[in-house]
Amino acid sequence: MRGLTTAASIWVTASIGVAVALGFWTAAAMTTLIALASLLLLRPMERVVLRSLRKGVYKVILDLDSEGRLAKVSDVLDRRSVNVRRMKTVGEPDESRQVIMSLELPSELDIEELLGVLRGLDHVTSVDWSR
């Protein structure tokens, strides 16, 4: 979900404004401090937690020549229970193209093993990855 923090911040800001308008200065000040603390202090903690949850997620960039087919790549991923979170192709189907994928690997599958299989496919010209 995107924009959830922004939406929550707008609601908190509106409630602080209502509290000030009704004369609840102390409650408004305390709510402001809590909101600022949570926005400033919880963000680094969120990044650490999310990074640890994405341990098995890799960005894989695969180059196919004009004869390469996505069905073969998909078959390799399916047989190894790899979850494709996102996939984008750049180029026309009858031309060489690049496939950019966000893959979630099962814990027992090593990224280098998967890349070796993908590199071995016909019409795959290169495979690269990052976290």
For 13, the domain range is 4-53
Question: What are the tokens at 106?
Answer: 């099962």
Same domain, 31 and 62: no
Buried b (16+ CB within 10 A) or exposed e, 27-36: ebeebeeebe
Strand stretches in 6-123, DSSP E: 57-64, 83-90, 97-104
Walk along the chain (131 residues) and give the pLDDT tens digit of each residue: 567 788 888 999 999 999 999 999 999 999 999 999 988 888 788 777 766 555 678 899 999 988 888 889 999 999 999 999 999 999 887 788 999 999 988 888 888 999 999 999 999 999 998 87
Same domain, 104 and 83: yes
Same domain, 123 and 96: yes
The C-alpha atoms of residue 80 and residue 58 are separated, in whole angstroms, by 15
Inter-residue contact 14 to 28 (CB < 8 Å) = no
Number of domains in the chain: 2
Same domain, 64 and 102: yes
Q: What is the pTM of this model?
A: 0.57
